[in-house]
Structure 1
């Protein structure tokens, strides 16, 4: 199928209550891919989302206040269903569990899906959900273990946009990083499971030519800055804040780190391969599914800083290994996680119930 070939799906409604992160980037990416292939879309989102204008370039956007009031919730859901019917969509996809309570009631003229990019947290709001789509097998396995019908649970992963050929890397000097340094890059929310502390501890055990770029924001940011100070690496650990499009930072780095404890997918792994970086990760569920150890990246036990350091040292010392995993990762990304392939899977699944 050509990149912009029309799909079976003609109209699609979305409900997305997210703020700003990797899930939101993929939401915009997928809706754009649908639009390129002729799918008309409408999305119901919270007000003042930073990605609202980008989404509106290819999708009708309706900004709502989603009330927690039991009575108002029914009115809002009825209003959403009325607008979706007026738009003419027969398929609605909610994004993450909070969207489940706003899905219209399924029936002969409405099919409903809930797309999960994280672990399910119970089904008490899933009354209008017909089908689950998880972006990893582990998410779906957990949902089925918790009681969700296996025949109504499906795996469709993510894709990333190819980097523009003319994309320029950021200037390292702008971030107090020497040009001859080896730059490790770790991206995500500063929360416990992302284990930014492991990245900092690893830098403290590695040669002084190794620097780390930590990209993101969150509740543990100040704690991580304090840890860097305590370990004496404030000159080599650089906190670069949240970046909506980290591509130019990835392009300027040398090794992608994903040292998380509980990572459902690890979209950063895909982004690392996409940027041509060798990937070093811990063996949480998502990276373990994505990465073939020693071929498309290196894996070490979760929480094991010694194992993480050993993987990084191998990438530094075994140049042939670093080159081989870069090439194999890029080839695997193209074969299994291309836009064309993932969109085709969504098209088949979303049309299967109509």
Structure 2
């Protein structure tokens, strides 16, 4: 079945190869190439768009990061800030009329005004030199930088933002310091001024779309939902490799749960650890359930301490980041996501691609959409230990959907499939004169 799905992805790519008239001219803009899922999927999209005959340049402030090595030579990677005095180049080439407000706002709205201005100036200079049709920005301050830079460059291109997070939920997070709350308030004010002026906004889930429309005061109908892709072919291929962990190589080790993600408060690993302790304390359980945690982060030592306090040290292994987490996922009995909030939750799609049974908190906003209201995995209320324990017991003992069903669901999020949705959406922003020129045949 996996072979057939992989061939289908190849057929989709070939059947959708762009003609000259339909070719998109895109510049994707990210802060850097760190190891997050959003960075990786943007790189995957660039690869796919290039393979289909479109222009998809990847522009970053810094090319540093764990994902820098996976950018193919077929994709042009441009680093903005290697120390090339971008501000001077913008000044020499001339400001756009009316851009002074953008320059002032970009400096006043940042904790690091000099660095922010450098980013804005560098991107503006590159836009004037490169002149793409569409600038697609995502993550952190990148949407604001993109908007300001395009103003300073003279509105050279259309600006589209991809929103990956439920920003308003950050205001509801417990224990945020006053300084961060003030910062979030500033970001909200900026969003409400800038987002209505953008040419397009993409949200990675319907939940994120609802959130950004409320957070930024924009019409919900103007926000396009396009789910994040996963490299389906690569995931399913890597899933067949040896897991390299003794708990997954010996059935005598007992049932194994896998979880993956940054070790941060948003992921609520304490909920999963407390649920594991309660699960293994249930009467009649002959063999303890083990937990493998893939990922790293600032809370690692705290979580290891909680394992000691709960008496489950020998049943939990923190593995850090793995180049191939899919070999572990595919051999596990259950994959569990215990987050308080997600933008989409790409790791759930990857788990489905590995064929493993899934249990997830029904947090805003992605899990319910990915699992189709629970059709492809169990959903439980966030922060509910008893509900999570019950769902894990059911998933271990009575898996609902079949492995084939889960893999087929994940295939709906393949890179070629999602790239086609981006192409359809972004095509509306291409200048009409580009199409006319492309359609003209050279004179004999």
Structure 1 length normalisation: TM-score?
Answer: 0.89
* Whole-angstrom distance in 1 between the partners of 2:273 and 2:114: 48
1:13 to 27, 37, 40: 27
Aligned to 1:105: 150
Q: How does 1:80-229 map to 2 (within 5 A)?
A: 80-103=123-146, 104-105=149-150, 109-120=156-167, 122=188, 124=190, 126=194, 129-146=198-215, 147-162=217-232, 163-165=235-237, 167-173=240-246, 178-180=250-252, 181-204=254-277, 205-206=279-280, 207=285, 208-229=287-308
Structure 2 unpaired stretches of 5+ = 1-10, 83-106, 168-186, 431-444
Provide closer, same or farther for how the CA distance between residues 309 and 344 of structure 1 changes in structure 2, counting only shifts above 3 A. same
Offset at 1:239? Answer: 0.1
Deviates more, 1:56-65 or 1:68-77: 68-77
Deviation at 1:329, TM superposition (A): 2.4
Equivalent pair of 1:295/1:328 in contact (CA under 8 Å): no
Instruction: Give the ranges of 4+ consecutive aligned residues of structure 1 lying more than 4 Å apart after TM superposition.
Output: 66-69, 106-109, 175-178
Provide the C-alpha distance between the structure 2 equivalents of 1:215 and 1:250, rounded to a whole number of angstroms: 10
Distance 1:108 1:62 in 2: 20
Measure the CA separation in 1 of the matches of 2:250 and 2:381: 31
Within 5 Å, give how 1:1-354 maps onto structure 2.
2-4=12-14, 5-7=16-18, 8-18=22-32, 19-45=34-60, 46-65=62-81, 69-70=112-113, 73-103=116-146, 104-105=149-150, 109-120=156-167, 122=188, 124=190, 126=194, 129-146=198-215, 147-162=217-232, 163-165=235-237, 167-173=240-246, 178-180=250-252, 181-204=254-277, 205-206=279-280, 207=285, 208-284=287-363, 285-318=365-398, 321-322=399-400, 324-334=401-411, 336-354=412-430
Report the count of equivalent residues: 349
Structure 2 CA distance for aligned equivalents of residues 13 and 179 of structure 1: 49
SS of residue matched to 1:158: coil
Shift of 1:23: 1.5
| Residue 295 of structure 1: how far off its partner (Å) | 2.4
The structure with the largest strand share of the pair is 1
Contact in 2 for aligned 1:172/1:252 (Cα 8 Å): no
Point out the structure with max Rg over C-alpha: 2
Task: Compute the RMSD of aligned alpha carbons.
Answer: 2.5
Measure, in 1, the Cα distance between the counterparts of 2:323 and 2:43.
12
The TM-score, its normalising length taken from structure 2, stands at: 0.72
Q: Measure, in 2, the Cα distance between the counterparts of 1:309 and 1:325.
A: 21
